[in-house]
A = this chain, B = another copy of it.
Amino acid sequence: MDWSPLKHLVETHRNWILLSHAKPDGDAIGSLLGLAAAIRSTGAMATPILEGGLPSRYRFMDPNGWLVLRDNVSQDLWTNADALAVVDTGTWNQLGHWAEKVRAFPRFKMVIDHHFTQDAIASVNFITTDPEANCRLIYEAGRSLGFVPDALAAQALYIGLATDTGWFRHGNTKPESFGLAFELVNLGANPTLIYREIYERSSLGKLRLSGRLLSRVSPHLNGQVVGSEILFGDWADIGAIPEDAEDLIDLVRVLEGTRVGFVLVERNPGETRGSLRGRDGFDVAALAQTFGGGGHKAAAGFSFHGSAQEAKGLLLERLRERLAPNT
């Protein structure tokens, strides 16, 4: 990536708005905070704005309150800004609430992103799908500005790197992922503290919901598929809330020998959310599409009008076709 234009852009624009995708993850928030720190280090102003709220697990990332929540954004902020950067996304639909504002923004716009799908949002684009995390691009952008991350910025960038690689275990992890982690931990990111903040603060509802789910785990189709479900009655029974159901699929998909894992969650009676995970090349995105959903080859999801039981019947039927002739 040629970052040489960036220095001039930051020198000539002194009041930035930074935006990322809705439902921000660690890489989005890390990119926002990291780029804000880099731009501010030059003496310019940069205000990172969220599309909605800040998920509780990431609140520790912003002790100085740099992030502005959607409801706290004033019209002045938009009027006074002379530049806008979109990070960790490059599509209008991901910008959610802010899409129209960005479209109408009459001054300088740029995108820094590592995703494949791109709309023509900005006049200057730093886009490449090589990096395992967008925070790598932000790190490079910062360096091109002469920015050396302090401990808080290093933490933000580390979190993007670590969460987008599933803590250095997903297929996008490469030698350089550890190389960048080495630098960021040297600069003050604390992996132990970060892991605990993000992954080790479960609610009682989440633990018990996990218990309910795991108690119902079943193999299907000669052990090629594993699945489980949360029924509508479980929520009140356990005292769990929808947020407690995040990432439940990770508990289920690890059954030895399986190629496909699924979790079906009844949010309401007759309203089921399906999460799918595939291994060894099995394409769950294509399967999710038959339910009107989508995602990546290895991780996808869908919504279904009907009970978990009905969704499971259909899902296993379609899996049987796709997994044949091995079944």
Contacts and interface: CB of A to CB of B under 8 A. Distances in A.
Interface of A: 167-171, 173-176, 178-179, 181-182, 185-186, 191-192, 195, 199-204, 207-208, 210-217, 219, 251-256
Centre residue among A168, A207, A211, A212 by max chain B CB count within 10 A: A207
Contacts of A254: 199-202, 207
Given A192-B173, A211-B216, A201 B167 contact: no
A241 to B, nearest CB: 14
Given A201-B254, A211-B214, 15 more contacts: A167-B167, A168-B191, A169-B191, A169-B192, A173-B185, A174-B185, A178-B179, A178-B182, A200-B253, A204-B217, A204-B255, A207-B255, A208-B217, A212-B215, A215-B215
A173 B168 CA distance: 14
Contacts of A203: 255-256
Q: Which of A178, A181, A211 has the most CB of B within 10 A?
A: A178
Contacts of A169: 167, 191-192, 195
A223 B182 CA distance: 36
Nearest to A194: B169
How many copies of this kind of chain does the complex include?
Answer: 2
A259 to B, nearest CB: 13
Contacts of A255: 202-204, 207
Contacts of A178: 178-179, 181-182, 185
Contacts of A202: 254-256
Contact of A211 (B173, B192, B212): B212
Among A186, A199, A214, which residue has the most Cβ atoms of chain B within 10 A?
A214
A58 B135 CA distance: 34
Contacts of A204: 217, 219, 255
The 6 closest A-B pairs by CB, nearest first: A211-B214, A211-B215, A178-B182, A169-B195, A178-B181, A201-B256
Contacts of A171: 192
A192 B170 contact: yes
Given A202-B255, A213-B211, A217-B208, A168 B167 contact: yes
Nearest to A199: B254
Nearest to A214: B211
A191 B207 contact: no
